[in-house]
Each structure stands twice: as C-alpha cells, then as structure tokens.
Chain A
C-alpha cells in the first residue's frame, strides 16, 4: 500500500530524514515512535506531501507521489490526515466540517454528503453534536470529528500525527477507541504516537525512528520487551 524508498528531507541546513526505506502493507497498523526531533512527524507529513521530500520516492496505492506529473490533490484524497491540534474549521459545524471536502472536491450533492457525514459522526459517536460548532466541543470530541472528516474522503490510508498529545488525559481513551475500531475494520494506518499502550495493543508493527533513520522495527512485543538496539532500549527505558 505504501512504499518508501530512500526518503531524505532537509530544512535548509538541517537534515531531518536521512534515508528512510519502508513498506507498509494493506490493512497494516504501523506505529512510529521515537524521541522528539527524530523526524517522526516530518516522515508522516511527507506521506501526503505536506512536506515536499528533498529526495527519494513515495508510492501510495500504486501512484508515485514524488513524480512531478502526479496530481497531489488527487493523491491526498487517498490519505486522510489527523493532526495533533485537530484543525477543525471553526466557522463550520461538526457536520459541515465532515461534509465540506466531499462536496467541494468529490462534488457530492448536499444530501449525499449529509448522509455520509451523519453516518461518519455516528461511527465516532457524535451524532448528537452534528450541529455544534467546534468551540463548543471538548478536545476529544473535536479530534473525533477530525477523524470523521478525514474518513469522509474514503481514504485508503489514515495518517495520525500525535492524535492524543494535545488532549487532557481523560479524553485520550475515547479517541484511541475510535482508532482501534478503525484498525479492526482493516484500515491501513500510520500513527505517530507517544501512547505506548496503544502501540503495544493495536500495532502490527512498531518503527523506532531516531535522528532521521529507522533504528529498529518489528512486532510490538519484540520492540517493547526485547529491543535489539541499544538506542531503542535507552529510549524505552525513559518512557515506559
């Protein structure tokens, strides 16, 4: 589903990603962990070209993102993105947030978009908040609307950029529960996270990123209980 070959990304002098190769299969749930500044978020943002890679190749669902002939707006429809700070559209209700892109990008009719929006809000447990503006929602509710909004484009892959880092602790659970449901339904997911419990329970594979490189990857039980690399062990000992 996702093929990354020799991905490099620099911001001016600063080299953030130094050669990343990985393959993510359809239906796989991959958690990317690592210390701050390791390049996790940049890696994720390259997967939908919110950051333009300096070099390397990214292929999603058979389409090369790095090919200059590719229409980025079309490829981005295949990848839903959930941000740490939600970024709901504050001038639109929860339902309108979900309906906007399907109507404007996919040219769905109002009634089609509305029934799609309502079914997605139901999926994230927020049917009763459909007509409420984001400012009246808690952080956890906003993030669930954001997930519904991303799902509305019917993406093949969902990218999560520290989706629970900005939430009060009591709201983390409701967002993780929605993500677990998605994983169970077979969605391909790449999750940058500090939630080791989630990674351990839901991920098929954990990638440990440090200093712009993949240091170690494998099934969560291996990474968490028996890491092969010293750096992985040092990182995990600090956070577990």
Chain B
C-alpha cells in the first residue's frame, strides 16, 4: 500500500501527458478525419482515391509501426535524400537535424492514425442521414456544400459523438505504445518506476487503475453530452 501511495503521484504526471497527447491527437484527427471523410464521399475520383488511400493505410497497419515510421523512418528518409542530393549534385543539406522532437513525432503519428478512424466515423455519420434531407435542402436552392454545412453535418455530428468518444478512449489506451520510443506518458512512467523500485504488481495495478479512471470519466462525459444534444433528433 505504501508503494502504491508513493508511485501514484509520480504516475499522475505521466497520465497528464497521456491526456495531453490524446486530446491533441484526437483534435487534429477530427480535422484530418473531416477532410478524409468528405474526400471519400466526394464526386471527384482523385479526392476519393486520396481519402481511401490515407484511411486504408492508417487503419490497415499497426499504430506501433506508424510511430516507428514517423519517429525513425521520416528522419531516416530525409537524411538519405539529403546525402543523395549532396553526392549527386553537391547540394548542401537544408535540414541540419532531421530528427523530430519526440513529442512532435508522438502527436504526428497518433493524429494521422486517429484521423483515419475518424474519417470513417464521419463518412458513416454523413451516410446515415436519410437522402431526403439533402434533397429537401437542394430543393430550396441550397448548393451541395450549403446543404452539407447547414443540414447534413449538424445532424451527422450528433450521431458521431458516441463513436467519436469510443475513438478517444481507444486512442487514450493506445498512447501506451508511445513508451516504445520513450515518450514519458503513463505506461513509460510505470516502466521507469518499476526499473527503479521493482514492485511490478503495485506499479502496474496503479497504472491500470489510472487508465481506468480516465476512460470511465471520459465515457461518462460523453454520455452526458449525448443526452444534452438529443433535443430535436429523431434517430
């Protein structure tokens, strides 16, 4: 018990970083997801292909691999390209240090991953709105985009709150994978403390409890929000 009381405040620092990374990534993911989702629904074949390619890649590969790709792979690629440019044409490297700050790499990987899942959530949300809504809006003289903006998306947003909440919770747990590149979020803090103190049960049960506390709190918040927004929705 003493161990648990001692490690918990230290773990909470890690939990803070977990929340910051998750919230930032899901927020950026919402923007990427809206773009990707609308691209997939677009009448333009190029946009559709880009949206589909992005979503397929990030949903079809493990987040851990994506984290390595961003943190190690991208700087590696930049270095190789610069070396090749130097050797072939004598171009001086433009980027002296191609390494990404670790937190940036973490947020980039998680945002790209989240955006792909949220893209599918947006697409499904928009498609769940009955076709008559679009027709009614268009029959009043609205353009396709006006109808999207004022009629379809506001209704779709309400319907995607539960799956968006699930995505937030899934991402919150998945950020534990960032421990692999040394981001000191909650799971990494657990590893470090355990290396110090070697009290595996006390430490990992505390880590688990803190994750549970965050996910349960958040899912209650989503439930409450969903209830508040239910006004005026038939579905």
- Report which A residues bind B (CB closer than 8 A): 48, 50, 73-74, 76-77, 79-81, 83, 85, 87-93, 100-101, 104-105, 133-135, 146, 149-150, 152-153
Contacts and interface: CB of A to CB of B under 8 A. Distances in A.
Given A87-B132, A89-B133, A81 B232 contact: no
Given A50-B135, A135-B232, A105 B158 contact: no
Contact of B232 (A79, A85, A134, A146): A134
B141 interface: yes
B233 A87 contact: no
A89 B151 contact: yes
Contacts of B142: 73, 101, 104-105
Contact of A101 (B140, B154, B231): B140
B135 A85 contact: no
A89 B134 CA distance: 10
B81 interface: no
17 contacts: A50-B135, A50-B138, A76-B138, A76-B140, A87-B130, A87-B132, A87-B135, A88-B136, A89-B136, A89-B137, A90-B155, A91-B158, A92-B232, A101-B137, A104-B146, A135-B233, A135-B234
A79 B142 CA distance: 13
Contacts of B151: 89, 100
Nearest to B230: A135
Contact of B234 (A50, A90, A150): A90
B143 interface: yes
B232 A83 contact: no
Contacts of B133: 87, 89
A50 B155 CA distance: 22
Interface string B46-81: 000000000000000000000000000000000000
Contacts of A149: 140
B139 interface: yes
Interface in B144-166: 146, 150-151, 154-155, 158
A67 B231 CA distance: 43
Q: Which residue, of A76, A91, A133, A152, has the highest number of chain B Cβ atoms within 10 A?
A: A91
Q: Which residue, of A73, A74, A88, A152, has the highest number of chain B Cβ atoms within 10 A?
A: A73
A146 B133 CA distance: 12
A149 B146 CA distance: 16
B29 to A, nearest CB: 24
A77 B146 CA distance: 14
Given A73-B141, A100-B140, A104-B150, 4 more contacts: A73-B143, A101-B140, A104-B142, A149-B140
A91 B233 contact: yes
Contact of A91 (B138, B146, B232): B232
A33 B5 CA distance: 80
Nearest to B144: A73
Closest 8 CB pairs of A and B: A101-B140, A133-B232, A87-B136, A77-B141, A81-B139, A87-B132, A76-B141, A105-B141
Contacts of A76: 138-141
A83 B136 contact: yes
Contacts of B143: 73
Contacts of B150: 100, 104
Given A83-B132, A85-B132, A91-B155, A50 B232 contact: no
A33 B142 CA distance: 29
Contacts of B140: 76-77, 80, 100-101, 105, 149-150, 152-153
B141 A50 contact: no
Q: Which residue, of B141, B143, B233, has the highest number of chain A Cβ atoms within 10 A?
A: B141
A48 B155 CA distance: 25
Given A89-B133, A89-B151, A50 B233 contact: no
Nearest to A77: B141
Contact of B139 (A48, A88, A91, A100): A48
A93 B231 CA distance: 10
